[in-house]
């Protein structure tokens, strides 16, 4: 089955220029989207095979830690880096890494992924720790040169994410007296904060641009309160023991995000899959926060909230954004084909199965893992099948990028 053809703007009139360098290395989203999607397609089924004893892989860290770390600092970080190295050019008007420098960043990321299953651990840790600080410095330099101070908090979160990764490796080595899961939870919390900030900018904007006469203007105080309460709730989850305070703050954050989402009018997007996937994925943030709130008193497993945020919110927002931004930056229409819609549905269904099936029917936990891994992997294989040729080719309109 091939993806259904879609009309391409100015395809017939496009004049392809002779541009320097490989198309694959002209802008950050190209190598990092391909690498991130490939890792996503492989790592979940590999982890399930390891968990069930059907794969003799011996990663550099225990299997559960490897799975969690590579989903966050391998998969999610790849997409974040690709996005920021692309958006940074749009935000500042300044060049971001391309050619040899972009290849070096991509190879650094890839080297860490290979070292995670081949070792030795020291090589893995050094390679893995290097990427985020480099990207943070690049982004801060661009933003300061362009006096684009509005986006500096994103660079700060990147620095904190690098700190969480350092804490993880120190904990694994026994040099930091904390559970290695704690910095991984911190990493997830920071990624969710990035998603909350960026979603607040792009989802209402995208919704308004395709809906005539629709105006979505959130009060500044409400946005700040929502982000502040969310940060506090996630900090209590990561750093403090379970408590009624954690239950209250996380529950409040869930309510605020629900209010935020409803204000974006998700119902008007139902006929636009490239947009409804962003609304549907964002809906997992209040769900995940609510589940973490309930977990404070032991009413549901912590893993339910973790996977709501990791599979539903993060996976859903990623599959939505890497289709939309890749289409836009390769000169294609912002409208998706049937297989892409199927990929959206597969990720959302994987989240439903992984989060709720073990709660409702614990005896089906293994079946939930296998089904989730299959659906998740299929979604990102669909992405690779459609988008890899596009990401390795010059833009259809002949422009650079």
Q: What is the pLDDT of residues 323-347, one digit of tens each?
A: 999 999 999 999 999 999 999 999 9
Cα gap 177→3, rounded to integer Å: 51
- Give me the sign of the Cα torsion angle 336, 342, 348, 350: negative
User: What is the model's pLDDT at position 213?
Assistant: 82
User: What is the model's pLDDT at position 18?
Assistant: 65
User: What is the model's pLDDT at position 262?
Assistant: 94
CA distances from residue 124 to 70, 116, 160, 161, 377 in whole angstroms, order as listed: 12, 6, 20, 17, 25
User: What is the model's pLDDT at position 7?
Assistant: 37
pLDDT surpassing 70 at residue 144: yes
User: What is the model's pLDDT at position 176?
Assistant: 94
User: What is the model's pLDDT at position 17?
Assistant: 55
pLDDT band at 218 (very low <50, low <70, confident <90, very high): confident
Q: Residues 79, 33: contact at Cβ < 8 Å?
A: yes
Q: Between the ranges 6-15, 87-96, 239-248, where is the mean pLDDT highest? A: 239-248
Half-sphere exposure of 252 (CA within 13 A, CB side): 17
pLDDT surpassing 80 at residue 10: no
Closest CA to 214 of 140, 269, 255, 151: 269
Mean pLDDT across 210-229: 89
- pLDDT digits 0-9 by tens, 268-317: 999 999 999 999 999 999 999 999 999 999 999 999 999 999 999 999 99
pLDDT surpassing 50 at residue 156: yes
Mean pLDDT across 47-74: 89
Q: Residues 193, 157: contact at Cβ < 8 Å?
A: yes
Mean pLDDT across 100-121: 95
Q: Residues 125, 169: contact at Cβ < 8 Å?
A: yes
pLDDT surpassing 90 at residue 356: yes
User: Which ranges constitute the DSSP H helices of 240-308?
Assistant: 244-263, 273-295, 302-307
Exposure of 270 by Cβ count < 10 A (0-12 exposed, 13-18 middle, 19+ buried)? exposed
Cα gap 273→342, rounded to integer Å: 10
Supply the mean pLDDT for the chain: 92
pLDDT surpassing 60 at residue 105: yes
Higher model confidence: residue 17 or residue 257? 257
User: What is the model's pLDDT at position 5?
Assistant: 41
User: What is the model's pLDDT at position 6?
Assistant: 37
pLDDT surpassing 70 at residue 117: yes
Exposure of 15 by Cβ count < 10 A (0-12 exposed, 13-18 middle, 19+ buried)? exposed
- Give me the sign of the Cα torsion angle 381, 384, 385, 387: positive
Mean pLDDT across 10-25: 61
**One-character DSSP codes across 81-116:** HHHHHHHHHHHHSSPPP-HHHHHHHHHHHHHHHHHH
pLDDT band at 386 (very low <50, low <70, confident <90, very high): very high
Q: Residues 171, 111: contact at Cβ < 8 Å?
A: no
Cα gap 373→307, rounded to integer Å: 13
What structural domains does the chain harbor?
A: 25-389 (1.20.210.10)
Mean pLDDT across 163-175: 96
Mean pLDDT across 50-71: 87
């Amino acid at each position: 089955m091939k993806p259904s053809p879609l009309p391409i703007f100015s395809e017939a009139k496009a004049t392809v220029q002779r541009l320097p360098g490989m198309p694959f290395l002209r802008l950050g989203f190209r190598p990092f989207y391909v690498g991130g999607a490939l890792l996503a397609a492989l790592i979940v089924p590999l982890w399930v095979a390891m968990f069930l004893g059907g794969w003799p892989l011996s990663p550099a860290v225990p299997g559960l830690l490897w799975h969690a770390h590579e989903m966050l600092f391998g998969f999610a970080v790849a997409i974040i880096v690709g996005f920021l190295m692309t958006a940074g050019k749009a935000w500042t008007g300044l060049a971001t890494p391309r050619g040899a420098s972009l290849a070096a960043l991509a190879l650094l990321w890839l080297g860490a992924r290979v070292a995670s299953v081949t070792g030795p651990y020291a090589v893995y840790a050094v390679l893995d720790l290097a990427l985020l600080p480099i990207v943070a410095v690049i982004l801060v330099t661009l933003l300061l040169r362009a006096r684009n101070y509005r986006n500096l908090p994103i660079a700060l979160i990147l620095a904190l994410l690098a700190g969480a990764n350092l804490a993880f490796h120190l904990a694994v080595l026994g040099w930091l007296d904390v559970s290695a899961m704690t910095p991984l939870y911190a990493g997830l919390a920071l990624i969710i904060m990035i998603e909350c900030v960026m979603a607040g900018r792009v989802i209402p904007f995208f919704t308004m641009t395709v809906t005539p006469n629709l105006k979505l203007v959130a009060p500044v105080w409400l946005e700040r309160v929502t982000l502040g309460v969310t940060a506090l709730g996630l900090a209590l989850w990561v750093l403090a023991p379970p408590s009624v305070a954690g239950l209250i703050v996380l529950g409040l954050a869930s309510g605020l995000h629900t209010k935020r989402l409803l204000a974006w009018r998700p119902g008007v997007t139902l006929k636009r899959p490239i947009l409804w996937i962003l609304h549907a994925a964002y809906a997992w943030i209040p769900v995940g926060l609510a589940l973490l709130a309930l977990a404070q008193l032991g009413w549901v497993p912590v893993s339910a909230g973790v996977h709501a945020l990791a599979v539903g919110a993060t996976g859903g927002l990623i599959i939505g954004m890497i289709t939309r931004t890749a289409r836009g930056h390769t000169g294609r229409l912002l409208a998706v084909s049937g297989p892409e819609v199927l990929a959206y549905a597969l990720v959302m269904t994987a989240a439903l199965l992984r989060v709720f099936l073990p709660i409702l029917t614990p005896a089906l936990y293994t079946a939930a893992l296998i089904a989730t891994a299959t659906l998740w992997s299929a979604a990102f294989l669909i992405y690779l099948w459609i988008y890899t040729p596009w990401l390795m080719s010059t833009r259809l309109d002949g422009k650079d990028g």
